[in-house]
Amino acid sequence: MSELLIEPLCELFVYYYRIIEVMKIVDYGKESETVEFKESTGELKEGIKSIASMLNKNKRAILYFGITNKGKVIGQEASDKTLRDISQAISFNIEPAIIPTITALDGPSENLKVIKVEATGSDIPYSAYGQYLIRSADEDKKITREALRKMFTGAGFDFISEIESTRQDLTFEKFASILVSKGYHVLSTSSLVKAKGLKNSDGKYNIMALILSDQSNVSIKVVRFAGVDKTSMAQRTEFGNQCLLIALQQAMDYVEALNETNVDLEKKNGKRDLYLFDFESFKEAWKNACVHNSWMDMIPPAIYIYSDRIEVVSYGGLPYGLTLDEFYEGTSHPINKSLWMIFNSTEYAEQTGHGVPTILSRYGKEAFKISDNYLTVTIPFAFKPTWAFVAEKQNESLILNGSQKAILTALKSNPRLTGDELAKATSLSVSMVKKSMVKLQKMGLIERYGTRRSGYWILK
């Protein structure tokens, strides 16, 4: 007798379970970032868009048919064909493909059911009918171009390797010489191109090839200002238009030369040298800015130097899916994976992810300013540098003659000019250039850095 009761009891249990499931929806009463209501499968297309939208935001989605957007259960027909049509529509119109779970729940009557569609997926971004949407509260909104890029890069798509370079007549002599100096054997240009992924899937040079080439048109600037804001520019030095790795190093060397020392008299155990700033922190910030910059629009990172701080600015913000906590912990999430591998092989990047924690330990979270499009690292100075006083003095009362002003203007445009080149650029005699240069050095306005052959002038 008991066995005869088991099957009816099971059916009754399932029936009440489904009723409870529907009641939960009624009690909830509203849609959310993971739940969407549709009155019927007449809104199937919009419902499928909502699934993709919710997956893009939260990697999970629940869609109900037979419920108004106010949460009222009205039910709808739910035959096997209806469920099959929903499954096929999802399969045909969401990319990448997902496998949903579709269930017919009991509704307000025997013939009117509530259809529940559940889906999960982490292979973002998902498109529906060719559109990319993202959930915001209970709405499906169009994804911005930049957010979509971040989704693709966060999912592992390497834009820098696929986007075609605007130039195809590229050479890589400087890049090859760097690799050789690191112990790599470069047998030929073709082997270098293949090994480092400098061509896209169509066999064309990609953006990464362009920024590493001898013909690179990327501008890498270090700009110095006379005060704490951008009101008065003291010097703009260009290191770009060459292989990115060389530009990176030259900019780093330039900033290191500005890292003067002072005597710390407050040290309990005696005097010690106090550096203007922690160069290791700057170095990590600058290398990260170059390798993790969003290069798709060819907007380069930059270094801005004020009288009280250095700012390292890169374009692109945080990778999609990387939380602030993960960022501060040093979680490795390369935006440009192929470029990061090259940086790693040339010792400009490494896998431990210690760069951000290094800066954090020295300057705290306030060193980082993060927006959707930019990431700025601010490194404050420990004291006011000598060249800042000189710049202020120059702005306030320093009187220069016409020859000296002309030379400073020329050096601001190109600090690598030789004496003969300065004479030509300023229409002065070579002897007048030499005399003026000596005077400018004595005034503390310029300083020579590097060798006679390959060095450059630093304007103070």
Residues 138 and 26 occupy one common structural domain: yes
Residues 250 and 321 occupy one common structural domain: yes
Question: What does the alpha-carbon distance between residue 182 and residue 396 come to, in Å, rounded to a whole number?
Answer: 48
Question: What does the alpha-carbon distance between residue 101 and residue 118 come to, in Å, rounded to a whole number?
Answer: 5
Residue 11 lies in a domain: yes
Which is more confident, 320 or 52?
A: 52
Task: Return the minimum-mean-pLDDT range out of 22-26, 136-140, 188-192.
Answer: 22-26
Give the contacts of 437 (CB within 8 A, at least 6 positions apart): 407, 419, 422, 446
Q: Is the pLDDT of residue 1 over 60?
A: no
Q: What is the CATH number of the domain that holds 25?
A: 3.30.950
Confidence grade of residue 441 (pLDDT, cut at 50, 70, 90): confident
Task: Return the minimum-mean-pLDDT range out of 35-39, 105-109, 392-396.
Answer: 392-396
Q: What is the CATH number of the domain that holds 435?
A: 1.10.10.10
pLDDT of residue 9: 61
Residues 110 and 166 occupy one common structural domain: no
Residue 117 lies in a domain: yes
Residues 195 and 290 occupy one common structural domain: no
Any idea what DSSP says for residue 132?
E
User: What kind and span of H or E run contains 359?
Assistant: helix 355-363
What is the mean pLDDT of the segment spanning 394-401?
63
Q: Is 443 helix (H, G, I), strand (E, B) or coil?
A: coil
pLDDT of residue 15: 60
Q: Is 261 helix (H, G, I), strand (E, B) or coil?
A: strand
Other CB atoms within a 10 A radius of the CB of residue 218 amount to 23
175-182's contacts with Cβ under 8 Å and 24+ in sequence apart are 175/212, 175/213, 175/214, 175/243, 175/245, 178/243, 178/245, 178/246, 178/346, 179/345, 179/346, 182/345, 182/346, 182/347
Listed ranges 141-145, 222-226, 285-289, 334-338; the one with the highest mean pLDDT: 285-289
Give the residue from 110, 143, 176 where a domain finishes: 143
Q: Is the pLDDT of residue 235 over 70?
A: yes
What is the mean pLDDT of the segment spanning 305-318?
93
Residues 234 and 375 occupy one common structural domain: yes
Residues 202 and 349 occupy one common structural domain: no
- The tokens describing 138, both together, are 């209970």
Any idea what DSSP says for residue 350?
-
Residue 387 lies in a domain: no
Residue 426 lies in a domain: yes
Q: What confidence tens digit (pLDDT) does each residue in 87-127 have?
A: 999 999 999 999 999 999 988 888 899 999 999 998 888 99
Q: What confidence tens digit (pLDDT) does each residue in 347-368 have?
A: 888 767 788 999 999 999 999 9
Task: Return the minimum-mean-pLDDT range out of 73-82, 160-169, 297-306, 436-445.
Answer: 436-445
Residue 354 lies in a domain: yes
What is the mean pLDDT of the segment spanning 26-53?
88
Q: Which residues of 427-460 are buried (b: 16+ CB within 10 A; e: fewer)?
A: ebeeebbeebbebbeeeebbeeeeeeeeebbbbb
- Write phi, then psi, for 347 (nearest 5 degrees): 70, 25
In the chain, the percentage of residues whose pLDDT exceeds 70 is: 88
Question: What does the alpha-carbon distance between residue 330 and residue 360 come to, in Å, rounded to a whole number?
Answer: 10
List for the chain the helix, strand, coil content (%; round to 5). 45, 20, 35
Q: Is the pLDDT of residue 230 over 70?
A: yes
Task: Return the minimum-mean-pLDDT range out of 19-23, 41-45, 118-122, 168-172.
Answer: 19-23
pLDDT of residue 400: 75
Burial of 425 (0-12, 13-18, 19+ CB in 10 A): middle
Residues 134 and 10 occupy one common structural domain: yes
Q: Is the pLDDT of residue 78 over 80?
A: yes
The one-letter amino acid at 314: S
Task: Return the minimum-mean-pLDDT range out of 154-168, 214-228, 272-286.
Answer: 154-168
Q: Is the pLDDT of residue 17 over 80?
A: no
The total of structural domains in the chain comes to 4
Question: What does the alpha-carbon distance between residue 137 and residue 120 come to, in Å, rounded to a whole number?
Answer: 18
pLDDT of residue 329: 87
Residues 44 and 121 occupy one common structural domain: yes
Confidence grade of residue 3 (pLDDT, cut at 50, 70, 90): low
Residues 47 and 27 occupy one common structural domain: yes
What is the mean pLDDT of the segment spanning 281-309?
93
Q: What is the CATH number of the domain that holds 313?
A: 3.30.565.60
Q: What confidence tens digit (pLDDT) does each residue in 416-435 have?
A: 888 889 999 999 999 999 99
pLDDT of residue 332: 78
Residue 151 lies in a domain: no
Three-state secondary structure along 153-169? HHCCCCHHHHCECCCCC
Residues 238 and 364 occupy one common structural domain: yes
Question: What does the alpha-carbon distance between residue 99 and residue 414 come to, in Å, rounded to a whole number?
Answer: 60
Q: Write out the residue range of the structural domain in which residue 163 sits.
A: 159-212
pLDDT of residue 447: 82
Residues 307 and 250 occupy one common structural domain: yes
Which is more confident, 105 or 24?
A: 105
Give the residue from 212, 232, 256 where a domain finishes: 212
Q: Is the pLDDT of residue 173 over 60?
A: yes
What average pLDDT does the structure give for the chain? 87
Give the residue from 112, 143, 174 where a domain finishes: 143
pLDDT of residue 317: 84
Residues 363 and 403 occupy one common structural domain: no
Residue 261 lies in a domain: yes
Q: Is the dihedral of CA 151, 152, 155, 156 positive or negative?
A: negative
pLDDT of residue 305: 96
Quote the radius of gyration of the chain (alpha carbons, Å): 31
Residue 148 lies in a domain: no
Confidence grade of residue 381 (pLDDT, cut at 50, 70, 90): very high
pLDDT of residue 28: 43
pLDDT of residue 393: 64
What is the mean pLDDT of the segment spanning 1-16?
59
Confidence grade of residue 265 (pLDDT, cut at 50, 70, 90): low
Of the candidates 41, 33, 31, 57, the residue with the CA atom closest to the CA atom of residue 90: 41
